[in-house]
Amino acid sequence: MDRKSFLDTVCSQIKYKPVRGEVAEELKNHLEEAKEEFVQAGWKTEEAEEKAISQMGDAEEIGKKLNKIHRPKLDWKLLILIIILIGFGLVVAILQQSTNSGNRIQHTAIYMLIGLVFCIGMYFLDYQKMQKYADLLYLLATILMILPYLGLANMVNGVNQLRIGSITFMPCTITVPLYLIAFIGYVTKYQKENRIKIQIEGKELSLNKDLIKITVLTIISFVLIFNVPSLTNAAILAFSYLIVLTVKIMQNKETRVKNLAIIYGSLFVFLIIPMIYMMFTSPYRFERLIFSFKPEMDPQGSGYTGMLQKEILENAKWIGEADTDIITSDNYIISLDSNYTFIYLLGKTGILASGILVLTILLISTKLILNAKNIKDPYGKMLIIGLSTLYISQSLASVLMNINLGIKAGINLPIVSYGGVYFIVNMISIGILLSVYRRKDINLYEKIQVEEKIG
């Protein structure tokens, strides 16, 4: 059997066609090295190639083994947990339909269908292609942040909402994950040697071009989000950036202490201090912070919503509706605002159902963390870390806020809270996470790994 026949036979056993070229190249290199060793040992070229092929073993058996390695995988555990969350979202829509005007069930079903289509599309898309389009994703996010200032906006509670046709939504709903994915692309493509030299007062400075680009674009994203204004989204995005950067820096043992000190120091000076300044110079933000935990200090003012939540918590049953009219009337913010989905669900269905929801959130968070540890591809690993941080921080912040253990902020519960665009964006993120897992045993197999599997 010649080399071409051998490679064709092996690849014919691999059902996932996109990796056949990669496998063929790996095997070709392996054969070339083995052939070279036989030639150096005194064998003729043609005989050396036959010997190398023979040493590899039966082509069909090798192909079957490689097919098992390179078979796409669906993360069934994560998918089942996500379906449970979607079910909770549908339950919320049904409950709210009975007390509020509007056809919420129909709208929820439509957006769920659209979200599912996008999720499936992202699942089958090779996530690695997104890395090449980091600049385009960043540009798209920036354009969406600017559009409200070009007349495509509605002012809602002092915040610019983007209006496209009959759909109105907060730009940060889309731009936060877009900025994060672009940022991950920049960080994973970072090259230490990509430097530029400049002269300042006769002294030559060597600066890293990738670092300059990441720094400048990060600052711009924060300036645009702060200008919405959306302190909450800025904080969530900053935390996600920080986790991604920390993981990246920790990979280099020699410089990680120095670089972590620089990053955390810069974060404190350029982000934490401005956020504290905004908090204390805006009375309503400062009040929100204080009365989020102690609503009884201002029960008819800034603590009003917290008092409603407290009443639901005090009257909640294990199963069934709480003994309070707060969750039965559309006159209360708890019944209307999607930020309070968790406490609404607790009041309508009881502690047991809401406890299952919390358990589901914790299981998803744990599964995502474990997935990140098992991904070999650097870009895929960072995508899971970044998007998981976004999901976990939003979910935990939303639940804590709903039970008066967190700051009152405009945070929805991912996948469960009502909101069409928000749900679709979340489903796209889930599709990306599933796509990374799907290829976890396919991308970036080193030659030695192939040798071990077929040896």
Peptide bond preceding 229: is omega within 30 degrees of 0, i.e. cis? yes
Nearest CA-CA partner of 221 in 175, 184, 289, 267: 175
Do 203 and 343 reside in the same domain of the chain? no
CA distance 198 to 62: 55
Question: How confident is the model at residue 379, as a pLDDT?
Answer: 93
Number of domains in the chain: 3
Measured in degrees and rounded to the nearest 5, phi and psi for residue 162 equal -75, 135
Is 129 part of a structural domain of the chain? Answer: no
Question: How confident is the model at residue 186, as a pLDDT?
Answer: 94
Do 352 and 260 reside in the same domain of the chain? no
Q: Coil, strand or helix: which one is 270?
A: helix
Round the average pLDDT of the chain to a whole number and report it: 83
Do 65 and 115 reside in the same domain of the chain? no
Q: What is the DSSP string of 387-420?
A: HHHHHHHHHHHHHHHHTTSS---S---TTTSS-H
Do 52 and 85 reside in the same domain of the chain? no
**Last-in-domain residue among 232, 253, 278:** 278
Question: How confident is the model at residue 33, as a pLDDT?
Answer: 85
Do 88 and 170 reside in the same domain of the chain? no
| Segment-wise mean pLDDT, segments of 10 residues, the chain, 455 residues | 81 78 81 83 80 82 79 87 94 77 77 93 90 94 85 63 75 92 93 76 76 89 81 88 91 81 80 73 72 83 86 91 80 77 92 96 95 89 95 94 87 87 93 90 47 43
Do 270 and 296 reside in the same domain of the chain? no
Tell me the percentage of the chain whose pLDDT exceeds 90. 33
Contacts of residue 144, defined as CB under 8 A and 6 or more positions apart, other chains included, come to 162, 171, 174, 175, 178
Is 7 part of a structural domain of the chain? Answer: yes
Do 52 and 88 reside in the same domain of the chain? no
Question: How confident is the model at residue 27, as a pLDDT?
Answer: 83
Do 259 and 166 reside in the same domain of the chain? yes
Do 247 and 159 reside in the same domain of the chain? yes
* The token pair that represents 89 in the structure block: 């979202």
Is 130 part of a structural domain of the chain? Answer: no
Is 182 part of a structural domain of the chain? Answer: yes
Do 287 and 435 reside in the same domain of the chain? yes
Do 111 and 141 reside in the same domain of the chain? no
Is 63 part of a structural domain of the chain? Answer: yes
Is 147 part of a structural domain of the chain? Answer: yes
Nearest CA-CA partner of 433 in 387, 395, 391: 387
Q: Coil, strand or helix: which one is 206?
A: strand
* Other residues' Cβ atoms within 10 Å of the Cβ of residue 119: 22
Question: How confident is the model at residue 139, as a pLDDT?
Answer: 96
Do 339 and 272 reside in the same domain of the chain? no
Is 103 part of a structural domain of the chain? Answer: yes
Range of the domain at 383: 74-124+282-439
Question: How confident is the model at residue 444, as a pLDDT?
Answer: 46
Measured in degrees and rounded to the nearest 5, phi and psi for residue 57 equal 110, -170
Q: Model-level pTM? A: 0.82
Is 45 part of a structural domain of the chain? Answer: yes
Question: How confident is the model at residue 157, as a pLDDT?
Answer: 58
